[in-house]
Amino acid sequence: MAWFYIVLLLGALGLVVLRIYFKLREAQTSRAESWDEQMIGRLRSQGYAPFNDYPVDFFLALPDAAACQAARARLEPEFRVDAKPVENDRELAFSLHASKTMRLVVPDMQDVSRRLGALATEYHGRYDGWAAGKARTERAGPGTAGAAGAGAGQVDVRAILKSFETPDETRALEHGKFELVHLGGMTLGRATYQPGWKWSTHVGPGLGLSRCSVEHVGLVLAGVATAAFDDGTIIELRAGQLFYIPPVPHDSWVVGEEPYVSLHFLGADKYARA
């Protein structure tokens, strides 16, 4: 009977140890992911825009050349990969650098960091974080809270004010115009189309296209226009509505006798550009 209680006690202790282990793992993962969020917030304050693509560099420390080759095979072609030996680290003697162009969005960055962290662990290495521009993250490891790289620089806190009344660029269109303002790392657009305007008639021919394939996120300020897709779907965009148009071929035209005006937060840099 005594042995029964001893086994029961050991089993209970084992469960407690496992629970503590998984809680620590969960806390470490949460801390690392919150660090990604903090760094992206810091980059936002430096002018990096959520809808723009930026080159991002990721860093892994791996034990040997074989691990680097295996990791490279898993990462390409999504990432551009190079690896080199490092000095003063006998256990993790190689540094693997993987880079890709992506938007600085927290869920996307956390997903990549989780995947690279798991890959590094699989090959008995370490994931050392990522860098965009001058900002560098280092993942929070055991006994650390993580730190920003010394090259992150100072945050410029000066406000910048601009107006579409004095745009940085105006793309003149038949029966309309598209004005652009560059601000905070983003390109914003204002479209103004007169009654009778139609994309396939007044914009497409100058580009050698019959349909627009630019992805749009915007806000209608005045008037009514359509987004017309090749499957026959026609959506009307009205004043006060926010809209998203996917990057699939579509036409558009003004409805009624009132000029149509809209702001564009995504796709403005590519729109109506030869």
Q: Which domain holds residue 180?
A: 169-266
30: Cα within 13 Å, side-chain hemisphere: 6
Query: 259 preceded by cis ω (within 30°)?
Result: no
User: In this structure, are residues 28 and 142 in contact, taking their beta carbons and an 8 Å threshold?
Assistant: yes
Amino acid identity at 41 = G
Task: Identify whether residues 77 and 116 lie together within a single domain.
Answer: yes
Residue 159 in any domain: the answer is: no
User: The CATH number of the domain where 13 resides is what?
Assistant: 3.30.70.970
User: In this structure, are residues 198 and 252 in contact, taking their beta carbons and an 8 Å threshold?
Assistant: yes
User: The CATH number of the domain where 235 resides is what?
Assistant: 2.60.120.10
Task: Identify whether residues 116 and 205 lie together within a single domain.
Answer: no
Residue 160 in any domain: the answer is: no
User: In this structure, are residues 237 and 224 in contact, taking their beta carbons and an 8 Å threshold?
Assistant: yes
Q: pTM surpassing 0.75?
A: no
Task: Identify whether residues 108 and 188 lie together within a single domain.
Answer: no
Separation CA 215–CA 244 (nearest Å): 8
| Average pLDDT over the chain, rounded to an integer | 80
Q: Is the pLDDT of residue 157 over 50?
A: no
Task: Identify whether residues 136 and 219 lie together within a single domain.
Answer: no
Q: Across residues 110-127, what is the average pLDDT? A: 91
Give the end of a domain, one of 126, 152, 178: 152
- Torsion, Cα 23 28 31 36, to 10 degrees, reads -140
User: In this structure, are residues 213 and 200 in contact, taking their beta carbons and an 8 Å threshold?
Assistant: no
Separation CA 186–CA 174 (nearest Å): 26
Residue 125: burial class (beta carbons within 10 Å; 0-12, 13-18, 19+):
buried
Amino acid identity at 7 = V
Domains identified in the chain, total number: 2
Task: Identify whether residues 117 and 16 lie together within a single domain.
Answer: yes
Residue 157 in any domain: the answer is: no
Give the end of a domain, one of 125, 152, 179: 152
Task: Identify whether residues 198 and 251 lie together within a single domain.
Answer: yes
Pairing assessment for the beta strands 260-266 and 216-222 based on DSSP bridges: antiparallel
3-class secondary structure, 143: coil
User: In this structure, are residues 217 and 265 in contact, taking their beta carbons and an 8 Å threshold?
Assistant: yes
Separation CA 67–CA 240 (nearest Å): 55
pLDDT in tens, 4-43: 445 444 554 555 444 544 444 443 444 444 667 878 887 7
Separation CA 221–CA 108 (nearest Å): 31
Continuous segment of H or E residues that includes residue 136: strand 135-136
Task: Identify whether residues 141 and 72 lie together within a single domain.
Answer: yes
pLDDT in tens, 40-95: 887 777 777 777 888 888 999 999 999 999 999 999 989 999 998 887 777 888 99
3-class secondary structure, 256: coil
Which residues are CB-contacts of 134 (< 8 A; sequence separation ≥ 6)?
151, 152, 153
Q: Across residues 137-157, what is the average pLDDT? A: 39
Give the end of a domain, one of 122, 152, 182: 152
Residue 274 in any domain: the answer is: no
Residue 158 in any domain: the answer is: no
Residue 272 in any domain: the answer is: no
Separation CA 210–CA 206 (nearest Å): 10
Residue 163 in any domain: the answer is: no
Instruction: Spell 34-53 as b/e; 16+ CB within 10 A means b.
Output: ebbeebbeebeebebbebee
Task: Identify whether residues 111 and 203 lie together within a single domain.
Answer: no
Separation CA 184–CA 266 (nearest Å): 14
Structure confidence at residue 153 (pLDDT): 40
Q: Where are the alpha helices (DSSP H) in the chain?
A: 2-45, 65-75, 106-122, 199-202, 204-207
Length of the chain: 274
Task: Identify whether residues 134 and 187 lie together within a single domain.
Answer: no
Q: Is the pLDDT of residue 144 over 60?
A: no
Structure confidence at residue 34 (pLDDT): 66
